[in-house]
A and B are shown apart, each in its own frame.
Chain A
């Protein structure tokens, strides 16, 4: 890597960085997820055993992180499409990013209880 350089691209650059990082993370999860789902061809017990891992508090919190990564990647992906194909997209790319961030915050707040309810119920009773 070339040392000592930083492209100060502000919103456009940082959304690009976040899009890459979330994309790579989601792709690595996808490999694991296809492999764990493949256990339904081994036996119901084998599948239920691995799914039990998904229900532990730590992995449950990681699922919330997965939702966070996927939601950002999806919303920012739509922004990239708007920038590429909508004639006013490049002009409004910063507004679009802050819209993405706003929608993301609302959806993440809404997903908090539904996604983490298993852990919340297990740790704090019903």
Chain B
């Protein structure tokens, strides 16, 4: 028996959803709810096999949203063979080298984040072409730093920086001017996630 080149010994990726049908539907529901109610935390339950360093919420979002038709870009810290293998095995999504070509991007807030302008913002005719960023953050808590307002939020919601630098939030706030172009974000921490659609306007505490 010759060594099979298509199956190197270490290539078997982690398992992904243990119950793909139920879990992907539950995750999709959670992702929808999170995006419809910006700032409200949605939780992902269940058992999800994933590479080291990837949290449950980010793994669930990636497995649920990505497929053959959605190019994915992996940010610093996530651009590893293990994560690439795992994502490709379970979703079939092509991993692209150019951030601007991606529909989804997996970012790790523990690493330097790329400029938000690098990602596809869509156009006025086709705003849906704007990318969705899945950002893994260390916390969703903290001292209030800003107000979110917009569809899905009654009055306004006071938000912490969620472990992201203020420079990032300034960049995100600046994107609001280009609406309906823009980026949709999911902030993922452990089993929790928060949605931040492009329709949400951000004002900072000092300006209020």
Q: Do A and B come from one complex?
A: no
